[in-house]
Structure 1
Amino acid sequence: MDASTIDSLMAKHVFSSSNGMQMPYRLFSPIIESTEKIPLVIFLHGRGDRGRDNSAQIYHEAGIIVNANSLLKAEIQSNFPCYILVPQCSDKTENEEWAKWVGNSPETPFKGLGADSTYTMSPSPSESGEAALELIEQTIKDKNIDANRVYIIGLSMGGFGTWEFTARKPHVFAGAIPMAGYSDPNQLEKIKHIPFWIFHGSIDKWNPVTGSRTMFKLLSDSNADVRYTEYVDTGHGESFKKAFNEAELIPWLFSKKRKTNSSQEKL
């Protein structure tokens, strides 16, 4: 599937969020019509793809869209029909990211990020994070989506976002794939019912692997449904490429259904 075909299938939209943000996003709608409700897959891009242009850069590293096993292909849609949602994070300030941590401000964008690849989540989300979460819930309501099969995948800054979105809205997601991101271990109790497949490269110089190892141990010790893949002698960007080429990635994700704790809000 060539780039122009992909771009035409990933329809451009803008979401007006309650916080006033005009969030650009792309939405792929199923090629094969179905009377049954079907899954939604959310992809969160990395820091270098922030902006307001809604260009192809926001999904150019998403293997589920651009690689040989793209979910956009009709033959793959026949097995895994789904919507794909790709919001774009704003770059209005230096510190605007999917995640929001204690210490994060326009003057100190990276303060509060630990050398062990962890941080403490801020009580309030970033503006882009808040808008994207609202967009996700609105899309579930507006489209023919199975609310029990909503999945999220993110790389680098989007890996941060994957950990954080599941913690901020733990009742929404049926499965999550964070790649090479920081996380807040204090959110364990909120997210341990969600299946995770964590990916990281062992020599990642941008986002140290320690945080992913920590989250895997914490989730494992909690008897969570969790997998961890660490690529030896692999850096930051290369780990994404390898992860998206895992043969079991898509079947694993689509096999998951939402679980909720009795104390959690349901859609």
Structure 2
Amino acid sequence: MIKGALLLASGLVLSAGSLSAREWTSNDGKKLEADFVSLAEGKVTMKRPNGQVFSVPLERLSESDQKWAELAASTPAPEAQAKPIEGPFAGLVTGEWELSEAEEVKFALYGPASLSGDTKYPLVLALHGKSGNSENGKQVGSWMKTFTSSENVAERPCYVLAPMSEQPLAREGMGWGNEEAARVVKLIKSLVKGLNIDPDRIYIVGYSMGGAGTCNVMAAESRLFAAAIPVAGVSSSVAKDLSRKPMWVFHAEDDKLVPVAASRDFAESMKRNKNFKYTESATGGHGIVGAVFKDVETHKWLFSQSL
């Protein structure tokens, strides 16, 4: 389904975050504010004031807007110059995973090249699981890359931070704790100061050891994070510190590496938390993380949360 078509059909009018945004009218009279980007293959590509890009079938627009779009497409115009990203980490915002080190933490950072310096974006902290990898960059797993897919970048543009644990071989439940959690929190605070990150929309997700780490790091400074998704691993010892935080825990019943019992116990201890969700699948084993983050509903839930 075309995103723009949905917006027009619903009658949603986007508030003018940009004074240059044009008002469009659908062929049934609904209004929409967005900037014209291009016209190709019968679809008008537009850009919302918040920087999100989407397409609308030309035929869904009013006759006058169809003519306007056709004229605009035939009249070359210079691209609007978005405000550049500024700050000490600006050089890492390239549209690719970039490696760096700060606050005694090695990390990979992804920031879409389309981000504008005059808009604040969410930050997703992604924690890897137990691994023999000790080279910065190898901690970026395929499940983390779902946040950088073209669909998610268009719908939910964000920064993705993937720090590398100094203890990649630590047993499940022990990673990302204590001093390491404190360093990761310090790194996030530095990024918030040095990049255009929305402080009310900092999320944390993790797999296996990183699932336990998700609990540990969030508990280290819970007021910093808007929501968390631990997959195939939790840290029950900090459940009391997370009793009011939005969390969605995933685990597979047939997980042979990290028994599901821990997540069940964690869910039981969080049953009074109205913002807590627990999903247990019958199959999927320890590799359930791929299915979890390929599901767009997981991303929708996460990005709907805010402090």
- Is the Cα contact below 8 Å between 1:155 and 1:180 reproduced in 2? yes
| Identity percentage of aligned residues | 31
Counterpart in 1 of 2:191? 139
CA shift digits 1:173-194 (9 cap, x unpaired): 1010001113124x33421221
- Is the Cα contact below 8 Å between 2:227 and 2:245 reproduced in 1? yes
Counterpart in 1 of 2:276? 226
- Is the Cα contact below 8 Å between 2:129 and 2:208 reproduced in 1? yes
Larger radius of gyration: 2
For 1:162, the aligned partner's letter is T
User: Of residues 101, 122, 125 in structure 2, which corresponds to 1:14?
Assistant: 101
The Cα shift of 1:167 comes to 1.0
Counterpart in 1 of 2:119? 36
**2:226, 2:186 → 1: CA distance?**
17
Uncovered stretches (5+) of structure 1, i.e. residues with no partner:
1-6, 101-124, 259-267
Query: Does the C-alpha gap of structure 1 residues 249 and 132 become closer, same or farther in structure 2, counting only changes over 3 Å?
Result: same
CA shift digits 1:159-181 (9 cap, x unpaired): 01001111111111101000111
Counterpart in 2 of 1:152? 204
Counterpart in 2 of 1:195? 246
Query: Does the C-alpha gap of structure 1 residues 38 and 155 become closer, same or farther in structure 2, counting only changes over 3 Å?
Result: same
> For 1:1-267, what aligned pairs fall within 5 Å after superposition?
9-15=96-102, 17=103, 21=104, 23-34=105-116, 35-48=118-131, 50-51=133-134, 53-55=135-137, 57-61=138-142, 63-65=143-145, 70-91=146-167, 98-100=175-177, 125-126=178-179, 128-185=180-237, 187-220=238-271, 222-237=272-287, 239-258=288-307
Report the structure, 1 or 2, having the larger strand content: 2
- Is the Cα contact below 8 Å between 2:184 and 2:217 reproduced in 1? no
**1:168, 1:50 → 2: CA distance?**
25
Q: TM-score, normalised by structure 2?
A: 0.63
Query: Does the C-alpha gap of structure 1 residues 255 and 236 become closer, same or farther in structure 2, counting only changes over 3 Å?
Result: same
The Cα shift of 1:92 comes to 8.5
Alpha-carbon RMSD across the aligned residues, in angstroms, is 2.3
Query: Does the C-alpha gap of structure 1 residues 93 and 163 become closer, same or farther in structure 2, counting only changes over 3 Å?
Result: closer
**2:273, 2:167 → 1: CA distance?**
38
